Structure 1
């Protein structure tokens, strides 16, 4: 079990009470207490997991506006306990019709620096989270949209306490804010402090419109018109027609096995599910559980498998509506065996690169175009819900980088995303910008099944670190038999492709030194990686355990049968 010495130095032990819960008739885990309370309220009033998830998403726009909101996107995974089927409502952004492959190059053909291109109105993708929620609610929900929005309107009008997460985001990412957002988050140029009350009358007005007129007001009515005005004013090229023609997809998830468990995760254009499954498949035969949880061998195996999967992700993932993906080849046993051979336990393998899955697949081979590596911190949020009937929702939603593109829709109080920067900046590859296309994402909402029954659901924010956070939490839980809170809190590492390793406080220093001797280069100081929210379903005893990561103000809340 977790003790006060296990907390990565991030929060007091007293917060453990807020971050964990158990119940036999429902569970909510989110990155903020208000969002969790809203979800719990809906469940207590007889709502199901989809009802609660929709209410939570509206609440998170109030309390985590720098991470998520109605101006962004999301992948909502729904498990229906009655049919035992899982589907994904893909509300990822799409590129406007005026978008083109060269849009991130300057007049000389050079890539525009990330900070510049990511804070322009041209970086805004057509938002999809509202349509995804609307579709899920129509299929599975039991409560009207207006009722699910109401709790968040009250919080927006009355104001919510500013927490350390928002203050840290403003301290580190103030440069991303446009004029309207800056005037709101830095009133009269003064920085918000933890404990300040921040009221959001304009957002409440927007929510009232959605209550009265429905989601169509966002895509066809006055909210949409305000979005286009704000974008056009700042040089963007999205048109009202782009909003009106936006469509979600309802997808089968990615599925794979790991040591007798079925892993179900996101499907393309999110590369998260693919990467999580490929990393686990590469690691499966190494029996990572034979090593200590903080051994160099464990960190080494995760780092090398991660590097292999990220090389393949960059090369072969794209919107499946625009390119055939060599998924059969990427998971072919012989291809996985080839990838495992790069792991030698002697050194960081400098030969790691993307492989050749085409020879194991029938799809047409495509050109691979290398992209510049740009280290910029993405942020997002993840939340998960289980209801009294056993239905589950796992949702990762975002405005991409902190505060998205920095554009707050004037008089309507919400931030717009900058998700078009997830397309390749150098054109020619599978993930190049095209009108109507969805960029590659790393979102990884995941449900794990044993003998056909769900035993764990989890996900994380953090851009590419999402994948590493989800994989390591799964390994800590399944291979090292840690309880779910301990599995989340066990220090994580992240390495994308090069020698660089990001790390959390608490990893073994001798193991760190050993890896440095193998050619890895660590950050000078540790920092939090991801923010996992999870629910463990103990099917044998009929109890669910919720846990929230201590890197934010996370909160898990459970319900028992007597609460109804």
Structure 2
């Protein structure tokens, strides 16, 4: 195993545990090279084909040489394909997909949120990371999610509060990516989204997932009145099959098209965002303190991804994904490092031996994640110690091959293996470290549990999409506003939802993931580009909060260790476990194996789905295979 320092090149600057999905058949509009099952179906964005449907229960798979797009929504995929057909590259296509998703999946991502993006530049032969994670405003305080008695504000209350809104980064990432790597102007790439949002544009039909999300949020009272006017006009939630029209969003996108991103970060849109978050009298009293200055100060970070090697029975690969403030890269690396010596390919993929070892590796890695990780700009995180070969070997010895143990749920001490030892950057850090030291077994701070494992907190939302072009450029981008519809707050007159990403901070002060001004909350987002023999081999990513890490890890294992084709790797049933004895397993896990896992001390529950992968594999001849996970609606397609 090996890993690289995630040192920054130069500053240019979750989402929850388990996806809620529908079990209906998947319908795709005909139009540009979308392949379903094993065959290629000629599908295109031309309006002449609209209304003709193809129905399938299998993964959406496309195969082509001239480029590829995979996203969670057919119309977003079509937007990316259209850009490729018009001479744009993979970066241009990805930006067009992101804007389109803001319109067709407004509950999942958009310009009111942020995320993480990996770009493989064929010209530079390098993978670059664009961190567009939201930051806390300057007025944020470590105890801002506690009430006057020092008790944690219930999640349903704090995630719909203006204090939950982080400074958005998605639009800045789109602008920087296009200027750095693209061929097109941002104004061209935003136009397909405008066409989808405008009342006289192409029809956007509410699907069952969006309809269910609307109904749940209306019932919970999570949406502001402004948002309800769009998604529940007259008080009646839009239902599957209804038309979704967003004129305010169309106007906002036109402003960005005509004037660039300036109005959003320093101008009239920024003023509206700040006023809304602060809770002006005519809006819901949201209680936030974001200012126009906070928006103007925001910039993305351009960095190098972290990486880890995995020598599998089928492929030797290098897995490259995001560094802090997401935990994804480090935790995936530790999971794979723990599992590699087990030679899992000697067992049946759906055996107790495989699932048990995977689950125990998840437990070990998450014990360290929740103890030590946070935004590395503010916290000394022992990522090198976590991935040190000797440390990983010692952690692997904790795993009992026959049964679950409490030992796998306790963190180790990676600082003993960290080069240079632990350091602190301020007197306040020293005081906090002395107060929260785990030398006697005390935990560093009270950590948030994954929302989906609480009976009172709703599931979160994110989206992942990926693109490739004929020149070999590739993008793997995970974008989010956190919960379904984020904070529930729509900016009046602007038509977009604001995130609630700051709830990814720990509510209680004292730990490495406590709230601080301008700090980025810890994430699990893991857009990934896997290389083989130094060349791009596979992109992969998923929504799902903590389970993103588990989903990406299992896809890599399925391909590199078990030699599966990418569509098989995506379809293979998944398991998920992070803290405590609980384990979630998809229905495809054999019933007798579930019984064995329970007998071994795992508390297994069956869930509909875990994660929702979008992936592109590079074939030996340079062509692409695109896969859209059918745990939710999705489409993979290529230029005609």
- When the two structures are superposed, what TM-score results if normalisation uses the length of structure 2? 0.84
Cα-to-partner distance string for 1:30-81 (whole Å, 9 max, x where unaligned): 0000000000000111101111111110000001111101000011110111
Aligned length: 552
The alignment status of 1:201 with 2:282, answered yes or no, reads no
C-alpha distance in 1 between matches for 2:422 and 2:464 = 35
**How many angstroms does 1:221 deviate by?**
1.1
The answer to whether the Cα contact below 8 Å between 1:312 and 1:354 also exists between their aligned partners in 2 is yes
What residue is the counterpart of 2:405 in the other structure?
349
1:421-445 deviation per Cα after TM superposition (whole angstroms, max 9, x unaligned): 1111111111111101101001100
Q: In the alignment, what sits opposite 2:72?
A: 31
Residue aligning to 1:131:
172
User: In the alignment, what sits opposite 2:372?
Assistant: 316
Alpha-carbon deviation of 1:16? Answer: 5.7
**2:416 is matched with which residue?**
359
Distance 1:372 1:81, change over 3 A: closer
Q: 1:516 aligns with which of 598, 604, 626?
A: 598
1:441 & 1:526 partners in 2: Cα distance?
23
Question: Structure 2 CA distance, aligned partners of 1:350 and 1:249?
Answer: 39
Question: Does structure 1 residue 261 correspond to structure 2 residue 317?
Answer: yes
Q: Distance in 1 between matches of 2:211 and 2:631?
A: 14
Alpha-carbon distance between aligned partners in 1 of 2:498 and 2:320, rounded to the nearest angstrom: 30
Structure 1 residues 126 and 389, CA gap change in structure 2 (3 angstroms) = same
Tell me if 1:547 matches 2:591.
Answer: no
Mapped contact 1:32–1:552 kept (Cα < 8 A) = no
Mapping for residues 5-44 of structure 1, pairs under 5 Å: 11=25, 14-15=55-56, 19-44=60-85
Question: 1: distance between equivalents of 2:25 and 2:599?
Answer: 32
State the 1:138 CA deviation: 0.9
Judged with a 3 Å threshold, the aligned counterparts in structure 2 of structure 1 residues 434 and 84 are, in CA distance, closer, same or farther, namely: same
**Aligned with 1:308: secondary structure?**
helix
What CA distance in whole angstroms lies between the structure 1 residues aligned with 2:448 and 2:99? 35
Contact 2:22/2:208, CA 8 A, preserved across alignment: no
Say which of 431, 437, 449 aligns to 1:373: 449
Tell me if structure 1 keeps the 8 A contact 2:61–2:625.
yes
In structure 2, what is the equivalent of residue 284 of structure 1? 340
Residue in 2 aligned with 1:231? 277
> Among 239, 242, 263, which residue is 1:217 paired with?
263
CA–CA distance in 1 between the matches of 2:607 and 2:512?
A: 35
- Partner deviation per Cα, 1:187-208 (whole Å, 9 max, x = no partner): 1121222111111101000000
Query: Does residue 482 of the first structure (1) align with residue 545 of the second (2)?
Result: no
Q: Which residue of 1 aligns with 2:214?
A: 170
1:407 aligns with 2:489: yes
| CA displacement, residues 289-321 of structure 1 (integer Å, 9 cap, x when unaligned) | 111111111111111111111111111111111
Deviation at 1:17?
7.4
Q: Name the Cα RMSD after superposition.
A: 1.6
Deviations 1:222-268 (A, max 9, x none): 11111112112232111111001112111110111000311100110
Q: Secondary structure at the match of 2:539?
A: strand
Whether 1:118 aligns to 2:200 is no
The residue number in structure 1 matching 2:504 is: 422
Counterpart in the other structure of 2:387? 331
Equivalent pair of 1:180/1:408 in contact (CA under 8 Å): yes
Alpha-carbon shift at residue 333 of structure 1 (Å) = 0.8
Partner Cα distance (2:448, 2:84) in 1? 46
| SS of equivalent to 2:607 | coil
SS at match of 1:205: helix
- 1:114 touches 1:374 (CA, 8 Å); kept in 2? no
Q: CA 1:475–1:10 in structure 2 vs 1: closer, same or farther (change >3 Å)? A: farther
Q: Which whole-Å CA distance do the structure 2 matches of 1:181 and 1:502 have between them?
A: 33
Deviation at 1:182, TM superposition (A): 2.0
Match of 1:431 among 513, 516, 530: 513
Kindly state the Cα deviation for residue 555 of structure 1 after the two structures are TM-superposed. 0.3
What is the aligned partner in structure 1 of residue 142 from structure 2? 101
Paired residue for 1:3? none
Within 5 A, what are the aligned runs for 1:151-170? 151-157=192-198, 158=201, 159-170=203-214
Residue of structure 2 equivalent to 1:245? 297
Q: What's the counterpart of residue 301 of structure 1?
A: 357
Superposed CA offset, 1:467-521 (max 9, x none): 1111111111222222111111111111111111112121110100000001111
TM-score (ref. length: structure 1): 0.95
CA contact 2:330–2:387 (8 Å) conserved in 1: no
Task: State yes or no: 1:191 paired with 2:237.
Answer: yes
Q: 1:9 touches 1:505 (CA, 8 Å); kept in 2?
A: no
In 1: Cα distance, 2:211 partner to 2:604 partner: 27
Whole-Å Cα distance in 2 between the matches of residues 275 and 327 of structure 1?
9
Aligned to 2:132: 91
**Secondary structure at 1:76's aligned position in 2?**
strand
Pairing partner for 1:182 from 228, 232, 240: 228
Aligned residue number for residue 88 of structure 2: 47
Aligned partners of 1:63, 1:39: CA distance in 2, in Å? 14
Q: Is the 8 A contact 2:448 2:506 kept in 1?
A: no
1:526 matched to 2:602? The reply is no
- CA distance in structure 1 between the partners assigned to 2:23 and 2:493 by the alignment: 40
Which of 169-178 and 215-224 deviates more? Answer: 169-178
CA contact (8 A) 2:59 2:567 kept: no
In 2: Cα distance, 1:59 partner to 1:229 partner: 26
